[in-house]
A and B are shown apart, each in its own frame.
Chain A
Amino acid sequence: MLPISYYVGLSAILFSIGALGVLIRRNAIIIFMSIELMLNAANLAFVAFARAHEALSGQVFVFFVMTVAAAEVAVGLALIVTIFRNKQSIDVDQMSSLKG
């Protein structure tokens, strides 16, 4: 079996890619995908740690995270669709009607 640190390392890399994606990409859907990547990086870490500690609760947490992610998708995609109808664009750099 691979040592636990490999899994945790992979999850840290995935999390960083996700966080960078949110900061760098400008398309709302891709930003959203990057956020999902962050959540799934956490899921990987949970499963790996659950195995290491032999504690089932970590695996159960993954289900919670997946459920919450699904709820977020429902609301998030709806918001993105509404704004696309209005602006014909989902580029976050063009979301600039609010300025002070």
Chain B
Amino acid sequence: MTTTDFLSILPITILVAWASILLLVDVFTNKQKWLTPLLAAIGLTVTLAFSITQSGNAYAGFNGMVVVDGFTSFLNVLFAISGLAGIALAYDYNKRMGLERGEYYVLLLFSVSGMMLMAAAADLIVVFLALELLSIPLYVLAGFARPKLDSEEAALKYFLLGAFAGGFVVYGVALAFGATGSTALGEIMAAVNTGTADMTLLLIGSALILVGFGFKVAVVPFQMWTPDVYHGAPSAVTAFMAVGAKAAGFAALLRVFVAALPTLYEELVPVMWVLAALTMFVGNIVAIAQSNIKRMLAYSSIAHAGYIFMALVAFGQQAVAPDAVAAALFYLLAYAVTNFGAWSVVIALEKAEGKGLQLDDYAGLGRKYPALAAAMLVFMLSFTGIPPTLGFVGKFFLFRIVLEAGFVWLAIIGVLTSLISAYYYLRVLVIMYMRDGEPEISSPVLLKLTTGLTAVGTVVLSIVAVPLFQWASQAVMKLF
């Protein structure tokens, strides 16, 4: 193992080692419940610092199985911050719901390490390992509120569908290996270019991998697990997995299809086009019918997966490919910030036994808690894509890329479905401000801080969006 090898997985190593130590620490500090989350947050902060120092470099480790480039660093930062936000949301929530167990934070750290490995993976074996490393802790976290039946059901559904998706990914990898004689993305690409690859086999393999990750990022028609799992899992877990698992899934899709798309462009793009359009339609239209805020946000997350998926469609056009990746990364960032904010409001209103989750429970929030309502206003505007919010800028970059790549109809569908989405996002605002009610919230410091920071971030980052986008596009230039 050379120094480069060691450096390339340093953030992941720190995180895994730290999580393993925390497992032990947690056993011996049963009385100090605040210690494990604090230590977990410190571990994540250190990882975040190392990830930041890595940015700007580009090197490969372990014979090219993992690569560190701008893409990796950008996503690593996103994942570490997601982990921190996940801890901040979970700390008081777990106390309130009687879930105060230290394993929660350890599992969260393991899951983050899987996501980071996914961002660095340049070999299909590593992609598969990272997928499982990030998913298995999430299955457990989804069922963390046991013996609550909702949570257990969510965990079982997530597990069965997740493992099913994993099966598709592995078989796809096996066929890609058969087609090219290698699982390294670089070598697959080389085999395709020299014409030694069996293209039919590779096409079937790529399609299976697409299906597997389609399940993971919840693209229609592979989305049926999402509402149930997001609804049943503890809200703090849902917030984390909605961001982390989705971003990691897209990271893998972007990486893998760098290798596959240029040659399989003709065959795959129409399929992806249909998937993206279907996802935007189904996610946004079914969300209208929801009366439970968790389910509504679940369908909204499906819809947003559809928007990000548009970037993958545009990705096939070589001329705009780097910008397409940058737009996808930027949208992931916008989605992450907004999503954590919205879930922090949900968590503030949620009460034991699943009460306080209906949309009607938000009535009167505008009068009684103006600050919280204002934050929710920002998040809903950002989800809809109304300026001055991050969501607007994200959609703007995304639609521009799709148009530049020549998919006019897809962009039109995107805009149309955004208009549809305005109906259910703005309905939350109407209920908050126009109806009378006596909502009760719990607002511990950490939760307030998360809500405040994400709300400010959603607005302020949208003002400095252009430099941020340039950072994202530099991040991608070094891909391979």
Q: Measuring CB to CB, which residues of chain A are less than 8 angstroms from any residue of chain B?
A: 8, 11, 15, 18-19, 22, 28, 31-32, 35, 38-39, 41-43, 45-46, 48-50, 52-53, 55, 57-58, 61, 64-65, 68, 71-72, 75-76, 79-80, 82-83, 85-87, 92, 95, 97-98, 100
Contacts and interface: CB of A to CB of B under 8 A. Distances in A.
Q: How large is the interface on B (under 10, 10 to 19, 20 to 34, 35 or more residues)?
A: 35 or more
| Interface secondary structure of A, over-half rule | helix
Interface string B231-275: 110000000000000000000000000000000000000000000
Contact of A100 (B160, B166, B227): B227
Interface stretch (B12-20, B28-36, B140-148, B384-392): B140-148
Contact of A98 (B125, B153, B177): B153
Nearest to B229: A98
A75 B107 CA distance: 12
Going nearest first, the 6 A-B pairs with the smallest beta carbon separation are A38-B167, A49-B178, A53-B181, A45-B174, A42-B170, A100-B295
A97 B153 CA distance: 8
Contacts of B152: 79, 82-83, 86
A68 B135 CA distance: 11
B159 interface: yes
Contacts of A57: 125, 177, 182-183
Contacts of A92: 156-157, 160
A28 B153 contact: no
B182 A55 contact: yes
Nearest to A35: B163
Contact of A64 (B128, B139, B166, B289): B128
A98 to B, nearest CB: 4
A80 B146 CA distance: 12
B129 interface: yes
Given A15-B171, A79-B139, A95 B290 contact: no
Nearest to B152: A83
Given A42-B167, A82-B147, A86-B152, A8 B178 contact: yes
A1 B159 CA distance: 40
| Interface secondary structure of B, over-half rule | helix
B292 A100 contact: yes
B139 A75 contact: yes
Contacts of A11: 174
Contact of B177 (A46, A68, A97): A46
Contact of A95 (B157, B168, B178, B231): B157
Interface string B169-198: 011011101100111000000000000000
A98 B116 CA distance: 32
10 contacts: A35-B164, A38-B164, A39-B167, A42-B167, A49-B178, A49-B181, A61-B173, A72-B132, A72-B163, A97-B149
B174 A83 contact: no
B136 interface: yes
Interface of B: 125, 128-129, 132, 136, 139-140, 143, 146-147, 149-150, 152-157, 159-160, 163-164, 166-168, 170-171, 173-175, 177-178, 181-183, 227-228, 231-232, 289-292, 295
Contacts of B143: 79, 82
B232 A98 contact: yes
A71 B163 contact: no
Contacts of A86: 146-147, 149, 152
Contacts of A100: 227, 231, 289-292, 295
A49 B182 CA distance: 10
Nearest to B290: A100
Given A31-B160, A75-B139, A98 B150 contact: yes
Given A79-B143, A87-B149, A97-B153, A71 B167 contact: no
A68 B126 CA distance: 12
Contacts of A15: 167, 171
Given A65-B170, A92-B157, 16 more contacts: A11-B174, A28-B156, A42-B167, A61-B125, A65-B128, A72-B136, A75-B159, A82-B143, A86-B149, A95-B153, A97-B150, A98-B154, A98-B231, A100-B227, A100-B231, A100-B290
B231 A68 contact: no
A39 B208 CA distance: 13
A22 B159 CA distance: 12
Contacts of B166: 35, 39, 68, 72
A37 B150 CA distance: 29
A40 to B, nearest CB: 10
A28 B165 CA distance: 16
Nearest to B126: A64
A79 B153 CA distance: 9
